[in-house]
Structure 1
């Protein structure tokens, strides 16, 4: 079990709603998020306070694919994430089919 799977198992034990889980992710990992520095992050995403796509899911905004910086993110590395382009493709959980 990798770090991401461990984190998901830990949260699953707490039986949190999706909004509670998202709030927890933001509280714990939001400061390490580099999504706002990404070339794909646009004004729409900023206005909607989007970020932490790797855990929260894809953007509601129309983002154009550009150089992805996900692998440079501390959250990506700390949780041993395997995918990228979360803002367009969806969260790590979705991409793993979990």
Structure 2
């Protein structure tokens, strides 16, 4: 799988807002965020867009402490060829890649 698979996938998508929502919902079903020790540090909060698919949606509003990361074991992460981790605290794959490119932590 190419190292920029994620970016190629994003560029190839030309989805309506409704189709994007369907993709996000499917990703939420695939992810394992709710099993992660870092997620538990947030008290297991499960409000809409809070509990799942951080690699797509970005950082959590309530997780402040990084305990342990399961991102590399997530089927969604492997399927999409993601390279980063701690999406719940550091932001989505795209957000982390942009920060790396411009040299911002």
> Is TM (by shorter chain) over 0.5?
yes
2:34 corresponds to which residue? 36
Deviation at 1:59, TM superposition (A): 0.3
1:46 corresponds to which residue? 46
**TM-score with structure 1 length normalisation?**
0.79
Deviation at 1:45, TM superposition (A): 3.0
**TM-score with structure 2 length normalisation?**
0.74
Moved over 3 A (4+): none
Number of corresponding residues? 94
Q: Does the CA contact (< 8 Å) of 2:38 and 2:63 recur in 1? A: no
**What are the superposed Cα offsets for residues 56-82 of structure 1, whole Å, 9 maximum, x if unpaired?**
000011331111000000011001101
1:3 corresponds to which residue? 5
2:59 corresponds to which residue? 58
Aligned pair in 2 of structure 1 residues 83, 4: CA closer, same or farther (>3 Å)? Answer: same
Deviation at 1:20, TM superposition (A): 6.5
Worse overlay, 28-37 or 41-50? 41-50
Deviation at 1:37, TM superposition (A): 0.4
The Cα RMSD (Å) is 2.4
Instruction: Work out which of the two has the higher radius of gyration on C-alpha atoms and give 1 or 2.
Output: 2
d(CA) in 2 for partners of 1:59, 1:95:
14
Q: For structure 1, list consecutive stretches of 5 or more residues without a partner in the other structure.
A: none
